Structure 1
Amino acid sequence: MKPTFKILTLISTLCFVSLSASFSSFAVSEQKVEEAEPENGPNLGRMLRKNDFAIELAIFETGVPPEFRVWATTGNKAIDPAKVAVNVKLIRLGDGIDDINFFQEGQYLRGDTVIYEPHSFTVALTAKYQGETYLWEYDNFEGRTRIEADIAQAMEITTQNVGPATFHETIEVFGNLKLPADATSNVYARFDGLVKKVHVKLGDAIKQGQLLLTVESNESLQSYQVLAAKSGIVSAVNVTSGEQSNDRILLSITNDKVLVAELAVFPMDLAKVNIGAKVTLSVNGVKGKLIGEIDSRVLKVRADQAKLFRVLVNNSDSLLSEGAFTTAKIEIDTYNVAMAVKRNALQSFRDFTVVYAKVGNEYEVRMLELGRAVGDEIEVLSGISAGTEYVTENSYILKADVEKSGASHDH
């Protein structure tokens, strides 16, 4: 592949709304230099010539992992490969140097190292023949571009380092908020009589020991006070001043400081959910997330075969209401992975899924083998080294620039 210095042009279709109009003048990162196409040999490899001596270096990948093969000629006549010593060094962006030696196989020399993706590197080839040493060096770049730091900052290209992660695998379920069974207590008159005064009204917040009613006993004709046995909200008022108590419920007091989220889990997920599992709740109309854990479950399944799991929810600020709908994520597994990247960093390149590694002001694809995905992260099995800095936000800008440059997979 000929060396290419990438052009990064801000075109209107990228819609960089966040940049000021002055950034539209960031027309290029570097000028593209036109060079003659390299000469290809009879084996579709790259021809390297000095005087009458020539080397054809080709990547071979038919039925085998990619590897180098070398044919040597002098005066256009084939040289016995046993008489030529060849070494190739591939200088990669931020990933060190691949040192490749060769051994004879039939009428060519075969490299002893697999050439892993991306096939993007500076090639340094040394050949020794009849006491002479021949040196060549050329760039074979693909999926690589360069953006100066100030422009990358203006475009809000952000990065972080590849590293380990803890994955919390969840299932999403739905439910609503209910009051605990013991949330409401009923208020009676100790001695039946005339309710002389009701001191509270529906919806009042009351404290334990607060005066609720004044009642005159029918037997003693003495008045006595009915006090609140606990704090809560007046949820029912069934009497007015001047009525007889008649051994009935006069008031109801409900403590709403703890609610219960009843979450429906269907048969396909039942085996995954355990008592004590961590739960993250989102309640309609309430900002932020609520964290809890599975406290208990209802023994009987509903008509739709869903089983209800119960989560105690702190409502000390009384922002939550009975009957509110909730969405919940129940944690069903937790595990560590050696490497993970952000899912929004992923882009396509040829037939690969890639992220863009950053080395200085240069960016280059890294072909990934991916594993499990949880939330906004995905496990990386291979294709990038731990600690590599990679682009997490606005990686599509790099993809567009690489595609515009016409980078090809040149062997």
Structure 2
Amino acid sequence: MRKNKQLLIVGIILAVILLGILFLNQNKLRLSDNEQLMLSVTDTSEQEGITGPHGGELFLKDGLGLELVFHESGATSLFKLYPYWQKKLLAPADVSVTIALSRLGRSAQLFHFRAEDDYLISDQEVAEPHAFELVIVAEYQDKTYRWHHSEAEGRVEMSDTTLRNSGIELATAGSAVIHSEITLPGEITFNEHDIVHVVPRLPGMVVSIERHHGQKVEKGEVLAIMESTMLADLRSQYLLARRRQALAQTIYDREEQLWREKITARQDFLTAQQQREEASIAVQLAAERLRALGVQPESALSGKKLARYEIRSPIAGIVIKEGVVRGEVVKEDKTAYIVADISTVWAAIRVFPRNLNQIHVDQLAVVRANTHDLKREGKVIYVTTPLDEQTRTAVARIQLDNQDEQWRPGMFVKADFQIDAVEVPVAVLLEGVQTLEDQPVVFGRYGDFFETRPLKLGRSDDQMVEVVEGLLAGEQYATNNSFIIKSELGKAGAAHEH
């Protein structure tokens, strides 16, 4: 009986112990997540370099803790602060915090905070890059706490000697005139004012082809040879008129001599004079008929075939069409050849409706044929009034000098038109702009350091680009070989991580 009573007491004690253990475990599970995490933080009067419960930098001093977090929402970055007292979260309204932020080459920036949920949020954005010195000042229960913190994201140290050896050049941001441009597509065409349709001007049969399509010809060079009965008749008339003129001159000379010797009457002399003048007029008329066909009258005296007719090029250029063949009988108005002078060409540029008011006659443009590495300046000589029915575009013709014959009709080109010239307060050279994380940047020079400066860019031309935000007038930045600094940043693992 006594033994059973002892066993009962032991059982009661064991049950109490088990209940106690369960009670302690339940109370532990009721602790907040932040309290659980704070149990792992070493108790110290002042510490830095500790990661807090929310993944930020934790600053501790005399029981007060501030956890600094970069809160990013899209392109916006703010400071977020979680306050603690004796390892427990404080109500954010109970503590007042101010942060003074300073950057290389910039004046200090003050951040104030407002309470929101269980944290404090800054009153302004934190600009990229996150390279700066921070002085954090907190006030709690009539006591002031201070911490110092630095971030060196996007910063590379490089001495002047290294700078020279790397070939990196510096420039200073400042005001500049930006020449705004638009680029439009087009192609090279012949200068229509320098295209000649060559016609025989008399009927006949082609007996010889001297020049062919694509060949260069000089002014007056023979293109083809014909035989024409009409030309034979005209040359015969010219020869006959010359002989009559010679006979009339002989009669005139004789009658003049006889009249002076008073052998013949004056009337005979006057008749001979009239016949001489009529013969001379007949020769001139026959000669003009030949010249009108491009035939020199003297050719009838050469002894060659009277029916031979040479089709000659009226200009120097290239044959772009050959319209006759040997043995063909052609009429006087048939286009035998088309010859184009290519010492000047046109760039026919397509002008879209939205750009019509920006393009005008006498406007300068730079025409580029990138596949052929060609570039030349020209002037707009004409803009078509009607729009193309299919493309709904107008055509601007730009005349280009082509003495070197590098521009060939049919080439696809682009034309850069200057449409505006605006002075901007801050601009940088395009060669100094790099891209980091899909954002344009330059590398500012501050003492022995280069630091990334993300930019918001505005208008640009082929040399300069306007800086809307990110760099101040008077600041130095890297231009030539700035990609070396970008490479050094990559080696240093200076990518943006928060």
TM range (shorter): 0.5 to 0.7
2:106 is aligned to 95
1:130 and 1:301 mapped to 2: Cα distance? 78
Q: How does 1:7-406 map to 2 (within 5 A)?
A: 38-62=49-73, 65-162=76-173, 163-164=175-176, 165-176=178-189, 178=191, 180-181=193-194, 219=242, 242=302, 252=314, 259-266=343-350, 268=352, 272=356, 273-281=359-367, 289-296=375-382, 309-313=396-400, 319=404, 327=413, 329-331=415-417, 333-336=419-422, 338=424, 339-350=426-437, 352-371=439-458, 374-375=461-462, 378-406=465-493
Deviations 1:100-123 (A, max 9, x none): 123344544332222122221111
Secondary structure at the counterpart of residue 491 of structure 2: helix
Identical-pair percentage: 23
Secondary structure at the counterpart of residue 358 of structure 1: strand
The structure-2 alpha-carbon separation of the partners of 1:136 and 1:264, relative to structure 1 and needing over 3 Å to count, comes to same
1:252 and 1:56 mapped to 2: Cα distance? 90
1:37 and 1:374 mapped to 2: Cα distance? 49
Q: TM-score scaled by structure 2? A: 0.53
C-alpha displacement of 1:322: 9.2
Q: Which runs of 5 or more structure 1 residues have no equivalent in the other structure?
A: 1-35, 185-201, 205-215, 223-236
C-alpha displacement of 1:183: 9.8
Q: How many residues align?
A: 338
1:20 is aligned to none
Q: Which runs of 5 or more structure 2 residues have no equivalent in the other structure?
A: 1-46, 198-216, 220-237, 247-279, 281-293, 318-339
Q: Which has the higher Rg, Structure 1 or Structure 2? A: 2
Structure with bigger helix share is: 2
C-alpha displacement of 1:63: 7.8
CA contact (8 A) 1:274 1:294 kept: yes
CA contact (8 A) 1:298 1:309 kept: yes
Q: 331-340 or 89-98: which moved more?
A: 331-340
CA contact (8 A) 1:168 1:334 kept: yes
Secondary structure at the counterpart of residue 261 of structure 1: strand
Q: TM-score scaled by structure 1? A: 0.63
2:112 and 2:355 mapped to 1: Cα distance? 55
C-alpha displacement of 1:139: 1.3
* Runs of 4+ deviating beyond 6 Å: 237-241, 243-251, 253-258, 298-307
The structure-2 alpha-carbon separation of the partners of 1:402 and 1:297, relative to structure 1 and needing over 3 Å to count, comes to closer
Secondary structure at the counterpart of residue 50 of structure 2: coil
Structure with bigger strand share is: 1
Deviations 1:195-229 (A, max 9, x none): xxxxxxx969xxxxxxxxxxx9974789xxxxxxx
Tell me how large the CA RMSD over aligned residues is. 4.9
CA contact (8 A) 1:179 1:258 kept: no
1:169 and 1:95 mapped to 2: Cα distance? 36
Deviations 1:19-57 (A, max 9, x none): xxxxxxxxxxxxxxxxx9920122322112233333222
- The letter for the 2-side match of 1:329 is A
CA contact (8 A) 2:386 2:394 kept: yes
Secondary structure at the counterpart of residue 137 of structure 1: strand
Deviations 1:240-272 (A, max 9, x none): 984799999989566999954222234757954
